[in-house]
Structure 1
Amino acid sequence: MEIFESGSRPTRRANEEWFTGTVWQDPVIEAPEPARVRALRVGFEPGARTAWHTHPLGQTLHVLSGVGLVGTRNSAPRLIRAGDTVWIPPGEEHWHGAAPYTGMVHLAIQEAENGQVANWLDKVSDSDYLAVPA
């Protein structure tokens, strides 16, 4: 058993190659093999978002606070709010982030396959991000 005390692992700014705007990440768990689970608490400032990406084994998002958006290719983004949980199946191209004028924090849970948790693609255009939510 291992206990990670609160504050023992630093918050880090998300990689600008894969995110637009200011995004902060706090590690929750990166379980050692043979376990595959990985989880992060991710805080998006208003207007911030991920790039398009997929996950080899899918991803679960649980919104902790604020209002955000989640989008898939060729569809208008959908609003997500505190308490909502989103399941994204393996291989589905998607993005997620804060609403334009409201921050959002979510717990992102995914599993690694051969050490990989995400396949990063192109950045989300402003027109895709600002499309009228479904």
Structure 2
Amino acid sequence: MQIQPKPATIKNPAEQFTGDVYLDLLAAPQQDGQHMMVAKVRFIPGARTAWHSHANGQTLHVTEGVALMGTRDGAVLVVQPGQTVYTPPGEEHWHGATPDDYMEHLAMFEQADDPAMSTTWLEHVAEADYHRP
């Protein structure tokens, strides 16, 4: 058993996010054969990801604030603290804070065999898609 050093909080890149979004890496593979990634992600009001998908799916657990999560069919889920959402492999989606409140979630996914292929980033979310609810 070993206490891991805490990595610095990072600000996520503007190419993949609208608004300020901060990430704390909580868990990453430690040995061969491990693929689990877990991060605490905090969004300021109005901040959100770009459209993206995950090779092996993703689980998001909202811990604070209210999350918006959108899909290509135009649905936007309103997710409350304590609720968990699973997105299957390859499903294009976005997630972020409401316009008026910050939001924090735990993001969990299994990396692809090539970690660079774990997440496919696409275009930014249009304002009309973000304000759909």
Q: The TM-score by the shorter chain falls in which range?
A: over 0.9
Consecutive unaligned residues of structure 2, counting only runs of 5 or more, are none
Partner of 1:3: 3
One-letter code of the match for 1:62? Answer: H
Conserved in 2, the CA contact under 8 Å of 1:53 and 1:119? Answer: yes
Aligned to 1:121: 122
* TM-score with structure 1 setting the length: 0.93
CA RMSD in angstroms, aligned pairs only? 1.0
Query: How many pairs were matched up?
Result: 130
Partner Cα separation in structure 2 for residue 24 and residue 77 of structure 1 = 22
Contact 1:58 1:88 in 2 (8 A): yes
Q: Which runs of 5+ in 1 are unaligned?
A: none
Deviates more, 1:39-48 or 1:28-37: 28-37
> Over residues 44-98 of structure 1, what are the superposed CA-to-partner deviations in whole Å (9 max), with x where a residue is unaligned?
0000000000000000000010011000002231101110100000000000000
Identity %: 44
Query: Partners of 2:127 and 2:70 in 1: how far apart?
Result: 13
2:12 aligned with 1:14, yes or no?
yes
TM-score normalised by L of structure 2: 0.93
Q: CA deviation at 1:4?
A: 1.9
